[in-house]
Structure 1
Amino acid sequence: MTSCSDGWSDAGLPALGTAPNADFWVALEQPGPWGAKAFTESRLDPELGRQLDTEVTRSGGRLVLVRDPLSHPDVEGPRTVFVAGGPVGAPWLGRAVLDSARDLLELLQAWPDLRAAATPPSPLEPSDPVLLVCTNGKRDRCCAVKGAPLARTLAERHPGRAWEATHLGGHRFATTALALPSRQMLAFVDEELAERALDGQLLALDERHDRGRSDLPQWARVADAWLRSRTGETDPAAMDYQSDEAVVQASHRDGRSWRLVVEKKSSDEVQLPESCGKHAVPISWWQVSEA
């Protein structure tokens, strides 16, 4: 049976702008097995998992569980947490080691707005960039079959910098990954792209590989990825976006500007499953043109 990601890859469909909305990310280390709904189907206390997810989502962020690709014994103990926040154009990544997962809930309730904070709040310390690779096979087999080997390879080369992650969305684009602190989401990731993403800088990629920056609104996310692929601009603070319905006005700090029409297209002629084992559905994708 052809995997969902093989079908989408063979069709040459763009991943442009498909990153989920997330103004900030919280990645909590949780060793051991993960179920399809990992926050409540892992060794993490289910009620605590629900509370953490609710608290992060309420504030405009997104929670993921992570684990070491090389060794994640099913034991309790201290665990690492990464938080990627900061305003658009000024991202940061903080890291801390907590005595227990419950400590994270108390911190989330005490921290200032992570979308606006200029620096990581205590006890977070500035962290080297990390790459989170989706490997949650209970959610979709593509993620485990394609993501896990890549995560292991990266972890062997860069200890502490590459982590397995729970659902990042977009199974059909496996292998998918999230680069922090840039908050750029990647599709059809191979070793070469993963190595580049480990630098933590925003990348100028083609429409096949760039799912966009999760901290931008949907329309700006699409326009931003499209423009970066054409201009090569990788400074997240260089561009400003304003929207009037389907038209996006993009301005560069050097004076250049663009008027872009951002549209979601669909086709009934080609139908593909968005996840392994599911029925095929009409495809949709984002398209950008200059007004």
Structure 2
Amino acid sequence: MSTGSVASGAGTAPKGCAHPPGCHTGELPVYASATVGARFWLLIEHSGPWASHLEDCSLPEDVHILIKRATRLGIRPQLIRRPGRRNPEETGIHVMIADSGSARPWIAEGVIAGPDDLNLDSVVAGVVPESCILVSEPVFLVCTHAKRNACCARIGLPLARSLAKTLPDTVWETSHVGGDRYAANLVCLPHGLYYGSMSQAAAIAAADAYRSGEVILDRFRGRAGIPEPLQAAEHFIRIHTGDLSVGGVAVESSRLDGAVTEAFLRGSGARFRVVVEPMTLTTPCGTACADTITTYRLVTLDRLTPVRYATSALI
């Protein structure tokens, strides 16, 4: 199989870039750049405004407490709001909780009176809190965090509004999700699938695919919660096998030898050995969004033995 390269996130930008050709258009590689530290999610509805960082936002004290508790437990907090409108303040705090790393990822929501009504310890144990109920519909997050990066708002806002017209009640604007250089960013929950450099048409296609249990490799950044080299390995297996099902490819084991990562994966009824190594590409932006991106090159891909057991949805 021919070699290739995939992108990884490195660094963030407080402001937008000059948008030269190739920047934010999907021409640059985005693969293997999903946020590694996002297995559990806490989404909190708050109309804004949002400061550059959540701890600096003007939020009710109860919301700040929730954010601090979630961060301490390794749960990724996100502020969310409905695209194109600012709802009046309501009684209680509307929250959604998601577990992207379990064998069967789930998302639940509820309205709580205060922080003590949401058991975040149960979330990291893989249990739905009693104050929330499971929801069957996926949730789509579009980063529109202007104070973090102007590009996220410039590109993300119209995308969020367009996607919300197609999929009402499932789309939310959200605060920084990681990887400003890949704006506009789309996150599909509960599986934590990341897409970047999204056009409105690409976002609709990705959302439709996810609702059908599949991914689209074009502009697919990867699956949150796993190391970037393993996201790269999954990406190359999907290219090799053509398996686009959300849970069709999974990592069994891996080891790091210097800068080189060797991984063993299963997919399409077989086991594979994949070796990837990092490389650096210079971007056309040359500004705040990104001067370079760290990417991964495929070194080796070997088919091993058939898999004689059912594959699970996630590692």
> What's the TM-score once normalised by structure 1's chain length?
0.82
Q: 1:125 aligns with which of 104, 128, 133?
A: 133
User: What residue in structure 1 maps to residue 197 of structure 2?
Assistant: 188
Q: Where does the alignment leave 5 or more consecutive residues of structure 2 unmatched?
A: 1-15, 302-315
Identity of aligned residues (%): 27
Q: 1:217 aligns with which of 224, 227, 233?
A: 227
Q: 2:27 aligns with which of 3, 6, 12?
A: 12
> Structure 1 residues 124, 287: closer, same or farther in 2, change over 3 A?
farther
Q: Distance in 1 between matches of 2:284 and 2:117?
A: 45
1:181 CA displacement: 1.0
| Alignment of structure 1 residues 257-276 onto 2, 5 Å | 257-267=271-281, 272-273=285-286, 275-276=288-289
> Structure 1 residues 274, 263: closer, same or farther in 2, change over 3 A?
farther
Q: Pick which of 2-11 and 132-141 moved more.
A: 2-11
Q: 1:58 aligns with which of 56, 72, 78?
A: 72
1:86 CA displacement: 5.4
User: What residue in structure 2 maps to residue 32 of structure 1?
Assistant: 48
User: What residue in structure 1 maps to residue 158 of structure 2?
Assistant: 149
User: What residue in structure 1 maps to residue 245 of structure 2?
Assistant: 234
CA contact (8 A) 1:140 1:275 kept: no
Do structure 1's residue 290 and structure 2's residue 305 form an aligned pair?
no
User: What residue in structure 1 maps to residue 9 of structure 2?
Assistant: none
> Structure 1 residues 263, 205: closer, same or farther in 2, change over 3 A?
farther
User: What residue in structure 1 maps to residue 8 of structure 2?
Assistant: none
> Structure 1 residues 89, 287: closer, same or farther in 2, change over 3 A?
farther
CA contact (8 A) 2:17 2:288 kept: no
Do structure 1's residue 75 and structure 2's residue 86 form an aligned pair?
no
Q: Count residues with an aligned counterpart.
A: 277
Equivalent position SS for 1:198:
helix
CA contact (8 A) 2:100 2:190 kept: no
| Amino acid in the other structure paired with 1:286 | Y
User: What residue in structure 2 maps to residue 97 of structure 1?
Assistant: 111
| Amino acid in the other structure paired with 2:27 | G
Moved runs in structure 1, 4+ residues, more than 6 A? none
Q: Distance in 1 between matches of 2:193 and 2:70?
A: 19
Q: Distance in 2 between matches of 1:212 and 1:2?
A: 24
> Structure 1 residues 229, 94: closer, same or farther in 2, change over 3 A?
farther
Q: Deviations over 1:18-53 (max 9, x none)?
A: 1112111111100131121134223x13x5555433
| Amino acid in the other structure paired with 2:231 | R
User: What residue in structure 2 maps to residue 251 of structure 1?
Assistant: 266
User: What residue in structure 2 maps to residue 22 of structure 1?
Assistant: 38
CA contact (8 A) 1:240 1:252 kept: no
> Structure 1 residues 236, 60: closer, same or farther in 2, change over 3 A?
farther
> Structure 1 residues 237, 282: closer, same or farther in 2, change over 3 A?
closer
User: What residue in structure 1 maps to residue 116 of structure 2?
Assistant: 106
User: What residue in structure 1 maps to residue 312 of structure 2?
Assistant: none
